[in-house]
């Protein structure tokens, strides 16, 4: 009797989980794989083939865009880590207890503002008639208005801005858990700042670093708004290709293949990152 109740409650708890994962994650992805392998041979007649993937390989614009998206995403991830780590360290270890909460809160607030508004803010700052250009004119640094928008640098600044908080938050939570005496011990044993950083702090913060990098990379590679709004017509971001296939050209088969390629690519990078750092998904992303 008691055992039956336990089993029943387990089944009842498992049901929502299973429905969610099967209906909204697994089946849709199977459907997307099937669709991506379909080729239109005549109106309303389809055959299974790799034609959509071959089109990707045969058209340099497509794979160039994917490689570009991937390499810029890696660059953004690296920049976010480099810029964000000292900030996270400051919040977790150097700021006083009062300032710590306040600074962390300041970091969290932009997190809840949508990508659209953040990109919009950057447009207002960077464009020819924008704040920075006007400021430079006013100070006399330059004589003519400068257009900072619609180039790769603007896209990178905007992307780093969008994702850096997803880097800082997990870093702060892991560094918070580190005992200060570990750092002091490192110094007492004769290590200098750099050795302590390399041999003690970074290894300890590894789960946070990996979690931050995974989420940051995934968000960057999958972002749509920031590259398009800040990069203009030549942003060549891969999500834009997917959108064009789906919505503009109504080529769902091709779009599904592109979606699969992006998914395989990001999964591969995440898998590689986990393998190289010796971490798992459960002890990094699931903790943050």
Does position 259 interact with another protein (CB under 8 A)? The reply is yes
According to the binding rule CB under 8 A, does residue 113 interact with another protein? yes
Size of the site for another protein (CB under 8 A): 87
Beta bridge partners, 46, equal 40
Distance CA 136, CA 140 (A): 6
Asked whether position 189 contacts another protein by CB under 8 A, the answer is no
Query: By CB under 8 A, is residue 210 in contact with another protein?
Result: no
From the CB of 93, what's the least distance to another protein, in Å? 5
Distance of CA 4 to the CA centre of its chain: 44
218 counts as binding another protein under rule CB under 8 A: yes
Listed in sequence order, the residues at least 6 apart from 48 whose beta carbon sits closer than 8 Å to its beta carbon are: 37, 38, 39
Closest CA to 232 of 127, 95, 84: 127
Considering only residues 8, 25, 54, 189, which one is a binding residue for another protein as defined by CB under 8 A?
25
Q: Does 78 sit near another protein (CB under 8 A)?
A: no
Residue 5 or residue 276: which is nearer to another protein going by CB?
Answer: 5
**Which residues ranging from 119 to 158 are in contact with another protein (CB under 8 A)?**
120-125, 127, 129-131, 134
Any residues with CB less than 8 A from the CB of 37 and at least 6 apart, and which? 48, 49, 50, 52, 257
Q: Which of 41, 54, 57, 94 binds another protein (CB under 8 A)?
A: 94
Residue 188 and residue 182: Cα distance in Å, rounded?
Answer: 10
Give the nearest distance from C-beta 62 to another protein in angstroms: 16
């Amino acid at each position: 009797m008691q055992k039956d109740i336990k089993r029943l409650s387990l089944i009842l708890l498992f049901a929502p989980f299973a429905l969610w994962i099967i209906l909204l994650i697994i089946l849709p992805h199977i459907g997307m794989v099937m669709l991506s392998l379909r080729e239109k041979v005549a109106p309303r007649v389809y055959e299974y083939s790799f034609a959509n993937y071959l089109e990707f390989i045969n058209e340099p614009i497509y794979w160039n865009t994917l490689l570009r998206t991937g390499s810029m995403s890696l660059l953004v991830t690296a920049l976010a880590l480099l810029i964000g780590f000292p900030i996270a360290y400051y919040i977790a270890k150097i700021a006083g207890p009062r300032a710590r909460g306040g600074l962390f809160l300041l970091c969290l607030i932009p997190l809840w503002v949508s990508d659209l508004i953040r990109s919009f803010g950057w447009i207002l700052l960077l464009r020819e008639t924008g704040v920075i250009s006007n400021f430079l004119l006013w100070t006399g640094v330059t004589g003519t208005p400068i257009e900072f928008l619609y180039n790769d640098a603007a896209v990178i600044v905007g992307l780093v801005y969008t994702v850096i908080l997803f880097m800082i938050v997990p870093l702060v939570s892991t560094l918070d858990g580190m005992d200060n005496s570990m750092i002091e011990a490192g110094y007492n044993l004769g290590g200098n700042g750099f050795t302590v950083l390399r041999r003690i702090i970074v290894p300890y913060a590894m789960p946070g670093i990996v979690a931050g990098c995974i989420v940051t990379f995934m968000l960057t590679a999958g972002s749509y708004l920031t590259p398009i709004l800040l990069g203009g017509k030549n942003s060549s971001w891969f999500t834009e290709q997917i959108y064009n296939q789906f919505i503009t050209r109504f080529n769902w088969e091709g779009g599904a293949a592109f979606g699969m390629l992006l998914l395989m690519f990001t999964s591969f990078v995440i898998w590689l990152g986990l393998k190289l750092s010796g971490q798992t998904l459960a002890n990094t992303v699931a903790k943050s």
